[in-house]
Amino acid sequence: MDEQALVAAARRGDAQAFNTLILNYQSLVYNVAYRILHDEDAAADAVQDAFISAFRALQTFRGGSFKAWVLRIVVNACYDQLRLTKRRPTSSLDEMLIDPDHSDIVADGAETPEEYAIRQDLGRAIQAGLDTLPPDQRAVVVLSDVQELSYEEIAVATGVSLGTVKSRLSRGRARLRDYLRDTRELIPARYRLTNEAEL
């Protein structure tokens, strides 16, 4: 895929080129939104808002990493969702009936049921820790440690300086580590640190 050619075509009004870009990034963008919001519906709304905003603002894209540019828009859409939720908290009746665990990784056929359960428990513990972080730290940790973006891409995606990215990442990782240490019982035994010197 020639991303720059697709961007240029989309800027000229080629809807199919924009759709191709969206298809290429929709999984990444949704996973980032889900990890920040930890709510499937809110994440889907943020992604939809982000792609609509990206389409409308495509003429303002000045080159560089299209991925980082789109991620900046979705991170901002997530912040909007968090502000909305804070103003008007709600509870989903569906979530009271079922627990829709989100996993962007399909179960491995070679994985035993026990290994699958352990992996799910670890994922839930990490997500619970991410949920305790302030939104700005959570976004940076997700972009770095889950999506493996570079510091430079994270700076573009979040609209902050490189130094701020590093600072938020350091503070976010420290808070996540402290949460996981303080809630050791939530972490499967094989992933627990054996002594305080390992922290």
How many C-alpha atoms does 128 have within 13 Å on its Cβ side? Answer: 16
Instruction: Report the CATH number at residue 59.
Output: 1.10.1740.10
Residue 165: which of 182, 143, 146, 193 has the closest Cα?
A: 143
Arithmetic mean of pLDDT, 7-18: 89
Residue-range definition of the domain harbouring residue 188 = 105-199
Assign 29 a pLDDT band (cuts: 50, 70, 90). very high
End-to-end CA, the chain = 43
Residues in the chain: 199
User: Do residues 53 and 130 share a domain?
Assistant: no
User: Do residues 64 and 110 share a domain?
Assistant: no
User: Do residues 111 and 192 share a domain?
Assistant: yes
Looking at beta carbons, which pairs linking 16-24 to residues 24 or more positions away fall under 8 Å?
A: 18/55, 18/58, 21/66, 21/70, 22/51
Asked if pLDDT for residue 20 goes beyond 90, the answer is: yes
pLDDT at 103: 43
User: Which phi and psi angles does 126 have, rounded to 5°?
Assistant: -65, -45
Instruction: Report the CATH number at residue 170.
Output: 1.10.10.10
Full-model pTM: 0.65
Residue 42: count other Cβ atoms within 10 Å of its Cβ: 21
How far apart (Å, rounded) are the C-alpha atoms in residues 182 and 159? 32
The number of distinct structural domains making up the chain is 2
User: Do residues 78 and 119 share a domain?
Assistant: no
Amino acid at 159: G
Of 67, 92, 117, the position where a domain reaches its end is: 92
Assign 183 a pLDDT band (cuts: 50, 70, 90). confident
User: Do residues 109 and 199 share a domain?
Assistant: yes
Of 70, 92, 114, the position where a domain reaches its end is: 92
82 within some domain: yes
Of 35, 60, 92, the position where a domain reaches its end is: 92
14 within some domain: yes
Contact 40, 100 (CB under 8 A): yes
Asked if pLDDT for residue 194 goes beyond 70, the answer is: no
User: Do residues 8 and 87 share a domain?
Assistant: yes
